[in-house]
Structure 1
Amino acid sequence: MTVNIADAPVAAARPVSVARGYRFELVKLLSQWRIRLLVLACWIAPALFVAGVSLQSSLPTDTLFGRWMNATGWAGPLVMLGFAGIYALPLLTSLAAGDVFAAEDRLGTWRHLLVAVRSYRRIFAAKALASLTVILVLVAGMAVSSSVGGLVTVGNRQLVGLDGHLLAPGDAALQVLLAWICMLAPTLALAAIGLLGSVALGRSPMGLLLPVVVALAMALAQILPLPVAVRLALPTSAFITWNGLFTSPAQGGPLLVSIVVSLVWAMAATALAYRLFMRRDFTNLTYDGSGRRAIAAGALPLAGLLGVTVVVIAASTPSLGSGIEQDKLQRSLATAFAHLYRLQTAQLNRPDVTEAELAVTANCTKGDGLVAPEGPGNDWRCVVSWHLPGVEATGSAIYQLDVTSDGRFVADGDGPKEVNGYFQVRTPTGDQPNPLWQFDGNVELLSSTPKG
Structure 2
Amino acid sequence: MTTAVAAPHASAAHRVPVVRAYRFELVKLVSQWRIRLLVLACWLVPGAFVALVAQQSTLPTDTLFGRWMHATGWAGPLVTLGFCGSWALPLLTSVVAGDVFACEDRLGTWRHLIVAVRSPRRIFAAKALAGLSVILALVVGLACSSTVGGLAAVGNHPLVGLDGHALAPSDAAWKVVLAWVCVLAPTLALAAIGLLGSVTLGRSPMGLLLPVLVALAMQLAQILPLPVAVRLALPGYAFIVWNGLFTSPAQGGPLLIGVVVSLLWAVTATALAYLLFLRRDFTNPAHDGLGRRGLTIAVLPFAGLLAGTVAVVAAATPAGGSGIEQEKVQRSLATEFAHLYRTQTEQLNRPAVTEARLKATAACTKGNVRTGAHGPGNDWRCVVSWHLPGVEATGQAVYQLDVGADGRFVADGDGPKEVNGYFLVRTATGDAPNPLWQFDGNVELLSATPKG
TM-score range, shorter chain: over 0.9
Change (3 A) 1:356 1:144: same
Residue identity opposite 1:312 in structure 2:
V
Q: Identify the residue that residue 190 of structure 2 maps to in structure 1.
A: 190
Q: Identify the residue that residue 116 of structure 2 maps to in structure 1.
A: 116
Residue identity opposite 1:25 in structure 2:
E
Number of aligned residue pairs: give it: 447
In 2: Cα distance, 1:171 partner to 1:72 partner: 13
In 1: Cα distance, 2:448 partner to 2:322 partner: 12
Q: Identify the residue that residue 265 of structure 1 maps to in structure 2.
A: 265
SS of aligned partner of 2:364: strand
Gaps of 5+ in 2: none
Residue identity opposite 1:136 in structure 2:
L
Q: Identify the residue that residue 392 of structure 2 maps to in structure 1.
A: 392
Asked if 1:359 is matched to 2:359, the reply is yes
In 1: Cα distance, 2:205 partner to 2:5 partner: 50
Gaps of 5+ in 1: 1-5
In 2: Cα distance, 1:47 partner to 1:168 partner: 22
Asked if 1:94 is matched to 2:94, the reply is yes
SS of aligned partner of 1:383: strand
Deviation string 1:143-186 (CA, Å, 9 cap, x unpaired) is: 00000000000000000000000000000000000000000000
Q: Identify the residue that residue 34 of structure 1 maps to in structure 2.
A: 34
Q: Identify the residue that residue 249 of structure 2 maps to in structure 1.
A: 249
Residues 413 and 420, structure 2, Cα contact 8 Å, conserved in 1:
yes
Q: Identify the residue that residue 216 of structure 1 maps to in structure 2.
A: 216
Change (3 A) 1:71 1:7: closer
TM, length-normalised to structure 2: 0.96
Residue identity opposite 1:107 in structure 2:
L
Q: Identify the residue that residue 294 of structure 1 maps to in structure 2.
A: 294
| Post-superposition offset of 1:320 | 3.2
In 2: Cα distance, 1:272 partner to 1:409 partner: 39
Residue identity opposite 1:274 in structure 2:
Y
Q: Identify the residue that residue 155 of structure 1 maps to in structure 2.
A: 155
Q: Identify the residue that residue 55 of structure 1 maps to in structure 2.
A: 55
Change (3 A) 1:451 1:423: same
Q: Identify the residue that residue 415 of structure 1 maps to in structure 2.
A: 415
Change (3 A) 1:438 1:108: same
Residue identity opposite 2:91 in structure 1:
L
| Post-superposition offset of 1:430 | 7.7
SS of aligned partner of 1:441: strand
Residues 35 and 96, structure 2, Cα contact 8 Å, conserved in 1:
yes
In 2: Cα distance, 1:208 partner to 1:301 partner: 21
Residues 325 and 372, structure 2, Cα contact 8 Å, conserved in 1:
no
In 2: Cα distance, 1:143 partner to 1:32 partner: 23
| Post-superposition offset of 1:7 | 11
Residues 377 and 403, structure 1, Cα contact 8 Å, conserved in 2:
yes
| Post-superposition offset of 1:8 | 12
In 2: Cα distance, 1:373 partner to 1:274 partner: 48
SS of aligned partner of 1:419: helix
Asked if 1:199 is matched to 2:219, the reply is no
Q: Output aligned runs, 1:266-415, within 5 Å.
A: 266-369=266-369, 372-415=372-415
Q: Identify the residue that residue 10 of structure 2 maps to in structure 1.
A: 12
Asked if 1:22 is matched to 2:22, the reply is yes
SS of aligned partner of 1:378: strand
Change (3 A) 1:430 1:175: closer
Q: Identify the residue that residue 69 of structure 1 maps to in structure 2.
A: 69
Change (3 A) 1:95 1:233: same
Q: Identify the residue that residue 3 of structure 1 maps to in structure 2.
A: none
| Post-superposition offset of 1:304 | 1.8
Residues 71 and 429, structure 2, Cα contact 8 Å, conserved in 1:
no
Computed over aligned residues only, the root mean square deviation of the Cα atoms, in angstroms, reads 1.7
In 2: Cα distance, 1:9 partner to 1:125 partner: 27
Change (3 A) 1:33 1:436: same
User: Is 407-416 or 10-19 further displaced after alignment?
Assistant: 10-19
Residues 349 and 428, structure 1, Cα contact 8 Å, conserved in 2:
no
Q: How many percent of aligned residue pairs carry the same amino acid?
A: 76
Residues 244 and 251, structure 2, Cα contact 8 Å, conserved in 1:
yes
| Post-superposition offset of 1:81 | 0.1
Deviation string 1:220-273 (CA, Å, 9 cap, x unpaired) is: 000000000110010111101000000000011111000000000000000000
In 1: Cα distance, 2:333 partner to 2:5 partner: 84
| Post-superposition offset of 1:429 | 10
Residues 200 and 295, structure 2, Cα contact 8 Å, conserved in 1:
no
Change (3 A) 1:423 1:281: farther
Change (3 A) 1:8 1:180: closer
In 1: Cα distance, 2:152 partner to 2:89 partner: 25
Residues 348 and 428, structure 1, Cα contact 8 Å, conserved in 2:
no
Q: Identify the residue that residue 439 of structure 2 maps to in structure 1.
A: 439
| Post-superposition offset of 1:287 | 1.0
In 1: Cα distance, 2:48 partner to 2:138 partner: 16
